[in-house]
Each structure stands twice: as C-alpha cells, then as structure tokens.
Amino acid sequence: MPTTDAPTDATTDQLDVAGDLLALLRDSTTEPRPDTQLEALTLAVAADLPVLLWGEPGIGKTAALTQLAAALDLPLTTVIASVHEPSDFSGLPVVGDDPAAQGVPMAPPDWAVRLARAGRGLLFLDELSTAAPAVQAALLRLVLERRIGALRLPPGVRIVAAANPRSSAADGWELSPPLANRFVHLTWTHDHEVVVRGLGGTWPRATLPRLDPARLPEAVAFARRAVCGLLAARPTLVHRLPTGEARRGGPWPSPRSWEMTLHLVAFATAAGSSREVLSQLVRGTVGDGPGLELLASLDRMDLPDPETLLADPAAAVLPERGDLRQAVLDGVVAAVRERPDRARWDAAWRLLVRAVETGAPDLVVIPATTLATLRRADWQVPASIERLAGTVALSRRADEAAARIAAVSGRAGR
C-alpha cells in the first residue's frame, strides 16, 4: 500500500516563509483621516445605540468593524445571524431537578457568556438580512434589552449589525419593522482614496468622539428643544409606519426612534460633529423626510432673535446662507407686524439696508415689499428706503422680463 511521506524540513521551511509573507501582507497602520461614515458609526457606538450597516457584498463592512474593535480596544464577537436558530438568541431550555418548582431557565449560548464575563466588547451580528423571520423575531430582545435567555449583556457591550440589500443578498428577507426600528441605519459605501491607501497599508483611524464635559448640559437641552419643538409643530411625525414592505425594513419615525435621535443630536452637539455626520445619523434613525425636517429646524434654532436685531441693527450679524438669511429677514418683518410702532419699523428698514450691504440684494425684495405695507399714515418714510428702491425696482423688472420670456416661449410651443 502507498504510504504518506512525513513532511520534509524543506516543506516546513516553505510554509514558514509563506507565513512570513502573509504576516507582511496583513501588516498595516492607521492614520487620522476625515471619514464621515466612520465618524457617524463611532458616534452611534459611543451613544450605545445599535447600528445596522447596509452595503453591497465586499464593500468592507466586516473589515470596518474589525478595525473599529481594534481601535477601541474592544474584543470582537462575530455572530452570523443567518446560520443560527431562534433558540440561539432566545436561549435553550435547561430542565432542572424540579421544573414545577424551579421553572425551566433559558441557557444563553457560549459567545454571550464570554461577552458577559469580559464585561465589554463589540457584538457584530453579520448577514442580518438573510436571517429568517423567526430568527429576526428572536433578535428583538437581544437588540433592545440586551438579553439572551436569562443573561443580560453588560453595559460595556456595543451592538453593530451588517446587512446586504435584498437585491444582492443570498436568499434575503426584508427586515421586520419591529427589528428595523431598533437600529440606526447607515449606508456603507467605499471611498476610492480610502481603498487605495488601505490596500497600500494605511487605513483611516477610528476614534471615539471627544465629548466636551462643559457642553453636556447644553447639548441635552439643545437636543430636547430641537426634537420636542419639531414634534410639537408636526405631530404626525411622532409615529409614521411606512406603507411599503421595503421601506418598513429601514429607518422610520416612532417614539423609540425619536428617542434615539434625541440621543444622537445630544452626542453630536457635545462632540462638535459636522452637519454631514449628524445628517447621516438622523436620516438613518427616523428616515429621510422627518430627518431633513429636523435638520432644517436645527438650522433655524441657531438664527438670531428678531428682537435682538431690531434693538441694534447696525451691529446685526446675519447668516451667510441665503435661505437662513431670508428666514431671519422674514422673522424680523413678522416681529414688526406683530408689534408695530414707528421705531421698530425704522429699525427694520436699517436692517434691510445692512442685508443689502453684506449679502445678495434680491433677498430683501420680499421683506421690503411686506414691510412697506405695514406703514401707518403718520409715519414718515425713512431715508434708508431710498437705498433699497433701486434693488426692489431692478428685481421687479427682472421678474417682469422673465414673465414675458415665459409667455413668448409658451406661445411658440403651441
């Protein structure tokens, strides 16, 4: 019979050399580099909110989580949700000596026990969109309450999941609405420069946001004022379950997701995060429509008080952005309409002159026209109006010309 020869020293040497080569290929470093999606992920992790990364296969979701765990010095536990049974997340029944007296406890799986013993870690639930509905149902308690059977995961454990869109998932399922509403949904995409530098051995460094201790009370007050103010004005946004099955598997507004949004706004404010990062987080929690409404209301919360501007128009600092500047000027005119008197009316005109001097003149046309209608018979026309007359007349001529062109085009198209 043929015999299998024992490995020779030469074969062992070649395997050792191959191991050295693999070690060199795996060797990489990190660098501080602006990366909005990575910053959004770390901010949500810092806020202790479950995150779900959506991305095509091979986009780098698993690699990002591995690098994040290493950067935060958290042991990484990866669980492929689609290859587990519901009992793996709800717990396996263990029958004792007297079930009638003691009950039947639900024993947690070994990976959950290891996380509990460590007291901290990053739990990565991969392939979530290929998990059957029964498995998704079993995950509800794990994601929301951090419970697996009779075991509660310690506060130091963070949960991040990953999923492929149904179009590219192997035997994929839509995420159930109750499970989807427990996550902050982030779309994970690749950046060409990041991939090139990473393959060259240098990846972006994931760091937890630096929270300013002095800003914590201010951040909480700002977040509560922003979210509660929007929902008070738009009560239909408190809970809006999407009608389409696919959209129900993504972010949508509910009291639970608004609470998560409030936490994210507070964390982003305390960390001084960019508006782009906050936009990804807010839209990934309550959806694009409600998220954009909240972002717009946040912009208006930072606008100067109309009464402050009327008190000292010469020292007024107006926003640079056109839409915000327009909102400020409209607010000043509205304040004069609500409490009209000669001094406030004159101050509003001086403010409009300052707006013309420091920004686009066309933004004052509508406020100036409205303000003129508020004049009382015994109020003299201030000299500052003459400085605006040319701007208003030019804007009206431009509007009239545009209307004539549109009319001619309409007749030509008949």
Assign 100 a pLDDT band (cuts: 50, 70, 90): low
Q: In this predicted structure, what is the pLDDT of residue 389? A: 62
- 332 lies in a domain? yes
- Please give the full DSSP string across 31-83, using - where no structure is assigned: E----HHHHHHHHHHHTT--EEEE--TTSSHHHHHHHHHHHTT--EEEEEGGG
pLDDT tens-digit readout, 179-211: 999 999 999 988 888 888 888 888 888 788 899
pLDDT per residue as tens digits for the range 5-57? 556 666 778 888 998 999 998 888 888 888 889 999 999 999 999 999 998 88
* 8 A C-beta contact, residue 132 and residue 80: no
Rounded-to-integer distance, Cα 108 and Cα 121, Å: 17
332 and 231 in a single domain? The answer is no
Specify whether 45 is located in the same domain as 150.
yes
Look at residue 236 and tell me if it is in a domain: yes
Residues 124 and 268 in one domain: no
Check whether residue 219 and residue 197 sit in a common domain: no
- Of the segments 103-117, 120-134, 165-179, 264-278, which one has the largest average pLDDT value? 264-278
In a domain, 311, yes or no: yes
**Residue type for 14, please?**
Q
**Within a domain: 406:** yes
Question: Are 55 and 180 contained in the same domain?
Answer: yes
In our burial notation (b when 16+ CB lie closer than 10 A, e otherwise), range 158-168 reads: bbbbbbbebee
Where residue 167 falls among pLDDT bands split at 50, 70, 90? low
Q: Which of 146, 172, 204 is the last residue of a domain?
A: 204
Of 204, 232, 256, which closes a domain?
204
Token look-up 């000292």 returns: 312
Cα–Cα distance, 321 to 299 (Å, whole number): 10
Q: Is residue 337 part of a domain?
A: yes
Same domain, 48 and 87: yes
Q: Are residues 176 and 82 part of one domain?
A: yes
Q: Please check whether residues 250 and 333 belong to one and the same domain.
A: no
Residues 365 and 217 in one domain: no
Provide the pLDDT confidence category of residue 362 given band limits of 50, 70 and 90: confident
Any domain includes 173: yes
Name the residue range of residue 358's domain: 306-412
| One domain, residues 63 and 182 | yes
Query: pTM value?
Result: 0.75
Candidate ranges 129-143, 190-204, 216-230, 312-326; pick with highest mean pLDDT: 216-230
C-alpha 357 chain-centroid distance: 37
Which residues 6+ apart lie within 8 Å of 154 measured at CB?
A: 115, 116, 119, 120
Q: Is residue 2 part of a domain?
A: no
pLDDT tens string 83-94: 888 888 887 777
Is there a domain that residue 10 lies in? no
Q: Amino acid letter at 351?
A: L
> How many structural domains is the chain composed of?
3
33: domain CATH number is 3.40.50.300
Domain termination site, one of 204, 228, 243: 204
* Contact predicate 360/320, CB 8 Å: no
